[in-house]
Amino acid sequence: MKRREFLRNTTFTTAGSLLVPQFLKAYETQYSAPSTLNEKVVVIIQLSGGNDGLNTVVPFRNDIYYRERPSIAIKSTNVLRLNDDIGLNPALEKIKELYDNGLVSIINNVGYPNPDRSHFRSMDIWQTGSSASEYLSTGWIGRYLDAQCAGQSAKIAPHQALEIDDTLSLALKGKNLNGLALQNPEKLFSQTQNGFVKANSKLTPADDHENVAYLYKTLAETVSSAEYVYNKAQIHKSSKLYPTTELGKSLKTIAELITSGVSTRVYYVSLSGFDTHIRQNDQQDRLLRQYAEAVGVFVDDLKSNNRLDDVMVMTFSEFGRRVKQNASNGTDHGTANNVFVIGGPHRTKPVLSEAPDLTDLDNGDLKYKIDFRQIYSTLLDDWLKADSRLVLGQAFEPVRLFG
Amino acid sequence: MEANSHQRQLQHFFWRAGFGASPDEVKAALSAPRQRVIKDFIRDSKEVHDFNVVEPMPYFSLRNDKRDMNASPTQELDGIKDKLKAVAEERRESIGNLNDAWVARMGQGTGAFREKMTFFWHNHFACRSRMALFVQQQNNTLRRHALGKFSDLLMAISKDAAMLQFLNNQQNRKKSPNENFAREVMELFTLGRGNYTENDVKEAARAFTGWGFNGSGEFVFRPLFHDEGSKTIFGKTGNFTGEDVVDMLLANPKTAQFISTKLYRYFVNQKVNPEHVEALKNRFLRTDGDILEVMEYVFTQDWFYDSANIGAQIKSPVELLAGMQRTLQMDFVDKTPVLYAQKLLGQTLFNPPNVAGWPSGTAWIDSSSLLTRMQLPKVLFRNEMLAASVKESGDANEETVKRKNKFEVTMNWEKFASFFASFSEQDLTEALASHLIQVPINSSLLKQIDKQGNASGRVERIKQLTVALMSIPEYQVC
């Protein structure tokens, strides 16, 4: 983007209070300096619908598991063994390869106190980072952006948290700043280049109405972020062959943005369909395979571009499923679940927390041992170098994600 | 800065008390005293019309089907499953029909004030249910009490099937109390956070044990599950019932404070003026929580028409859609895209994110929702499809929302144009702007809009200008 153009686009954000030269300098450090190539990045993959954790990381020596799931349990001979007790669903072959290469951490028994079994509410809790008894209207990544704004003199732009979708999830909505959603850089760019939108984005409101100013600020930021991301994305195109699934396309976009040096710190993408009440195995197998294959190429892509050390992929679902299968060869909504953390520094020994205890259930459901916010706080503090207490409202005990 | 004209003030009233007004409604109001306009508008909402679009459907027989499903041999399973699927489908469709019917009522016809209040209470007593019949019943309950006494409304909603189901009070039993309802009734419906203790919640939950509902959605008290023991709530001790707790909540002045603040923030300004809220609270207390009296008070105060309050709200997605209908006297032929637009913009009726309702104000706006809002008028009148796709919720019971339809609207542009017949070509853009936009517009923007109206025919030009005006950021506020 040309300097003059940039100034025009940000007329509303500067509010005239910043001195231009300083401001520009900040902008250059933030966006154009090659230093962004060493920035740590988090990619979040949300499995929507409640992925069945017990058939993802399978306790293949546990009699209770086979007793409670007579027709849907994964046969011990098919499991991709991680150790003497647990192994991965055979659809996760690519993940197993990464695990063997010291690139995967598996954290079992992740949840929160008083679990909610409604998709909506539990997803709300995961996305806002709240407890089960609070209702927050901002997401944890949105608040991460807010905290960045407060802590730095440089301008923090929406695209620093990017969701690959047409609409923005609550997770990326902050109090003062929201993340940016785009299906791909071209689509958003062309939308914002529409004459009227673009013309509007360069105007100032006539009056000092706070909300109107907010709308203009959002519009100007959208147009300038869309342009920035689009231009940057041209720098590096991936040469890897990604699966043609939605997730494959999204991860390809993310890889291209990362290797192009876009200053995005958090990426967010979802894969839906895990609500397997009926005939679970076919459906879960298909989705896990999609997931593993897309992530496999993604990791490979980053590795060839020397960026894998900087990128951590966290995969979660809003809840796990009940231990006992239902009558339709499926499972119903449950509680605690496993979280995968892939990429980043090489793990010298496998990171794998203990398997769920099927003898100690809460009304047929797994008990959580690790609060999901412990993982968030570790990512925020140790990886993104932010202050997790500002984002989560309190301190959480860190968990070991790598090393 | 341009002064707040009489017209803009009237439109302010119509936007806040209802969902905006058409040019002829505004014209008629211009020649009447303000008090009269308010009185007439309120009188127009006197009657209550229930929704009757959902067929009664058995609830407990379905549960038996589910039970059968767990016991039946596999060959019968498919039949039962198909039946359950069909029922789920029908319920979803019914809730969709209810959504269509409600948006239509907000967008046209009489009784806009009652619908606006019902909409406010729907957000206050935010609730979700898959039971279409319960959803309809709750909506009718809110509408019936929308302008009455808050005490009647609170008691009715506390005994409402959808609410009891949503907040798990059906499972609240003496032997295993469930605190969900007791907590939310204090935190979100009456007192607000910080005005009760954890012990109050625990003890109140015991008082609500045994409150439930039957398959037709009627309130049922089940004495067997009720804890008749002594409870200590808000410092008082006795064998309190659920009704006693509701009465205690109503008697607490914190409730008047909480409700008055919420009404002010929605109907006047998100930024609270403590003096004005205090006045509302006093009105609330003096009238024994008479909602109509409180609202009439709000609309007749001079400060309600202060320029700081005009245009101070960002329209919610439903207000945006209903407002377009009302100001233009337009109708949606196919309702599917209307539901789709709600989902895309983040507010689907009967589907609040949680019991706390929708986060409002600037929370409606992000890069995606703003672009969609700005694109919407063009898409509407060119019978196009919205460019963005809705996210899947992940819930297998929810229809995959991939289905997108083109918008189809009926709109009499000749009639709309006729309201502006007295304006010269030169003044046309400004005249339309003063009808559609509640805040001052930058003169260079107005010039740009003027350029958008390049058709030679007057009606077509008015259409172009209207679409352009409804696409600017200023249209998002009221």
Q: Which pTM does this prediction carry?
A: 0.90
Instruction: Compute the mean pLDDT over every residue in chain B, rounded to the nearest whole number.
Output: 92
Residue with tokens 């991860």, as numbered in its chain: A251
DSSP secondary structure letter of residue B190: I
Report whether pLDDT(A103) > 90. yes
Which residues does chain A have within 8 Å of residue B346's beta carbon, measured at their own beta carbons?
167
Report whether pLDDT(B41) > 70. yes
Considering only alpha carbons, which residue of chain A is nearest residue B344? Answer: A167
B98 is a domain residue: no
Low-confidence winner among A27-36, A251-260, B67-76, B104-113 (lowest mean pLDDT) = A27-36
Low-confidence winner among A354-368, B76-90, B270-284, B450-464 (lowest mean pLDDT) = B76-90
- Summarised one tens digit per residue, pLDDT across range A227-263 is 999 999 999 999 999 999 999 999 999 999 999 999 9
Q: Kindly determine whether residue A218 and residue B355, on different chains, have CB atoms separated by under 8 Å.
A: no
Q: Kindly determine whether residue B477 and residue A276, on different chains, have CB atoms separated by under 8 Å.
A: no
Q: What is the pLDDT, as a whole number, of residue A403?
A: 73
Residue A87 sits in a domain whose CATH number is 3.40.720
A106 is a domain residue: yes
Q: What is the pLDDT, as a whole number, of residue B401?
A: 56
Specify the amino acid at residue A118: S
Radius of gyration of chain A (CA): 22
Q: What is the pLDDT, as a whole number, of residue B121?
A: 98
B162 is a domain residue: yes
Q: DSSP letter string over A158-216?
A: GGGEEESSSS--GGGB-SS-B-EE-SSHHHHHHHHHSHHHHHHHT---SS--HHHHHHH
Residue with tokens 């991680």, as numbered in its chain: A82
CA neighbor of B470 nearest in space, from B258, B328, B261, B366: B328
Q: Kindly determine whether residue B344 and residue A167, on different chains, have CB atoms separated by under 8 Å.
A: yes
CA distance A326 to A244: 33
- Residue B356 C-alpha, separation from nearest chain A C-alpha, in angstroms: 7
| Percent of chain B topping pLDDT 90 | 84
Which residues does chain B have within 8 Å of residue A320's beta carbon, measured at their own beta carbons?
none
Report whether pLDDT(A114) > 80. yes
**Closest residue to B439, CB basis, from A121, A180, A209:** A209
How does residue B91 score in pLDDT terms, banded at 50, 70 and 90? confident
Pairing of strands A337-343, A104-111: antiparallel
Q: What is the pLDDT, as a whole number, of residue B61?
A: 54
Q: Is B325 left (phi over 0), alpha (psi -120 to 50) or beta?
A: alpha
- Residue B341 C-alpha, separation from nearest chain A C-alpha, in angstroms: 12
Low-confidence winner among A140-154, A180-194, B154-168, B235-249 (lowest mean pLDDT) = A140-154
Radius of gyration of chain B (CA): 24
Report whether pLDDT(A4) > 50. no
- Rounded mean pLDDT, B299-320: 97
Q: Inter-axis angle of helices B458-470 and B443-452, to 10 degrees? A: 130
Q: Kindly determine whether residue B314 and residue A215, on different chains, have CB atoms separated by under 8 Å.
A: yes
- Contact status, residue A222 vs residue A201, Cβ threshold 8 Å: yes
Q: Kindly determine whether residue B369 and residue A199, on different chains, have CB atoms separated by under 8 Å.
A: no
Report whether pLDDT(B120) > 70. yes
- Residue A350 C-alpha, separation from nearest chain B C-alpha, in angstroms: 31
Total count of domains within chain A: 1
B230 is a domain residue: yes
Q: Tell which of A120, A249, A271, A279 to mutate to test the B interface (max B CBs under 10 Å).
A: A120
Report whether pLDDT(A174) > 70. yes
How does residue A33 score in pLDDT terms, banded at 50, 70 and 90? very low
B285 is a domain residue: yes
Report whether pLDDT(A284) > 70. yes
- Summarised one tens digit per residue, pLDDT across range A318-339 is 999 999 999 889 999 999 999 9
CA distance B323 to B318: 8
Three-state secondary structure call for residue B376: helix
CA distances from A245 to A49, A286, A290, B269 (A): 18, 11, 7, 46
- Rounded mean pLDDT, A289-305: 98
Range B293-301 contact pairs with CB under 8 angstroms and sequence separation of 24 or more = B294/B260, B294/B263, B295/B17, B295/B42, B295/B117, B295/B147, B295/B263, B295/B267, B296/B38, B296/B42, B298/B263, B298/B264, B298/B267, B298/B268, B299/B13, B299/B16, B299/B17, B299/B38, B300/B34, B300/B35, B300/B38, B301/B276
Total count of domains within chain B: 1
Q: What is the pLDDT, as a whole number, of residue A209?
A: 86
Which residues does chain B have within 8 Å of residue A270's beta carbon, measured at their own beta carbons?
391-392, 394
Q: What is the pLDDT, as a whole number, of residue A28?
A: 36
How does residue A19 score in pLDDT terms, banded at 50, 70 and 90? very low
Which residues does chain A have within 8 Å of residue B468's beta carbon, measured at their own beta carbons?
196
Q: Tell which of A137, A186, A230, A271 to mutate to test the B interface (max B CBs under 10 Å).
A: A137
Considering only alpha carbons, which residue of chain B is nearest residue A219? Answer: B367
Burial of B287 (0-12, 13-18, 19+ CB in 10 A): middle
Q: Kindly determine whether residue A270 and residue B477, on different chains, have CB atoms separated by under 8 Å.
A: no
| Among A19-28, A338-347, B379-388, the range of highest mean pLDDT | A338-347
Maximum alpha-carbon separation in chain B: 80
How does residue B460 score in pLDDT terms, banded at 50, 70 and 90? very high
Q: At B32, give phi and psi (nearest 5°).
A: -115, 155
Buried b (16+ CB within 10 A) or exposed e, A322-333: bbbbbbbbbbbb
Pairing of strands A41-48, A266-272: parallel
Query: Could you tell me if B395 lies within 8 Å of chain A, comparing CB atoms?
Result: yes
How does residue B75 score in pLDDT terms, banded at 50, 70 and 90? low
Q: Kindly determine whether residue A222 and residue B370, on different chains, have CB atoms separated by under 8 Å.
A: yes
Residue A157, C-beta contacts closer than 8 angstroms, at least 6 positions apart: A30, A31, A221, A224, A225, A228, A263
Report whether pLDDT(B74) > 70. no
- Residue A338 C-alpha, separation from nearest chain B C-alpha, in angstroms: 18
Three-state secondary structure call for residue B385: coil
Q: Which domain covers residue A255, as residue numbers?
A: 42-182+238-392
Q: What is the pLDDT, as a whole number, of residue A151?
A: 67
Q: Kindly determine whether residue A191 and residue B445, on different chains, have CB atoms separated by under 8 Å.
A: no
Considering only alpha carbons, which residue of chain A is nearest residue B85? Answer: A278
Q: At B3, give phi and psi (nearest 5°).
A: -70, 155
Query: Could you tell me if B410 lies within 8 Å of chain A, comparing CB atoms?
Result: no
Which residues does chain A have within 8 Å of residue B1's beta carbon, measured at their own beta carbons?
206-207
Q: Kindly determine whether residue B452 and residue A225, on different chains, have CB atoms separated by under 8 Å.
A: no
- Is the complex ipTM higher than 0.90? yes
Considering only alpha carbons, which residue of chain A is nearest residue B314? Answer: A211
- Rounded mean pLDDT, B152-170: 97
B298 is a domain residue: yes
A352 is a domain residue: yes
Considering only alpha carbons, which residue of chain B is nearest residue A182? Answer: B368
Considering only alpha carbons, which residue of chain A is nearest residue B449? Answer: A196
Maximum alpha-carbon separation in chain A: 71
Count CB neighbours of A203 within 10 A.
Answer: 19
Report whether pLDDT(B64) > 70. no
How does residue A42 score in pLDDT terms, banded at 50, 70 and 90? very high
- Rounded mean pLDDT, B322-338: 94
- Rounded mean pLDDT, A45-60: 97
Q: Kindly determine whether residue A218 and residue B395, on different chains, have CB atoms separated by under 8 Å.
A: no
CA distance A97 to A105: 13
Q: Kindly determine whether residue A211 and residue B312, on different chains, have CB atoms separated by under 8 Å.
A: yes
- Contact status, residue A180 vs residue A161, Cβ threshold 8 Å: yes
B191 is a domain residue: yes
User: Is the model more confident about A27 or about A127?
Assistant: A127
Residue A30, C-beta contacts closer than 8 angstroms, at least 6 positions apart: A36, A154, A155, A157, A263
Which residues does chain B have within 8 Å of residue A188's beta carbon, measured at their own beta carbons?
367
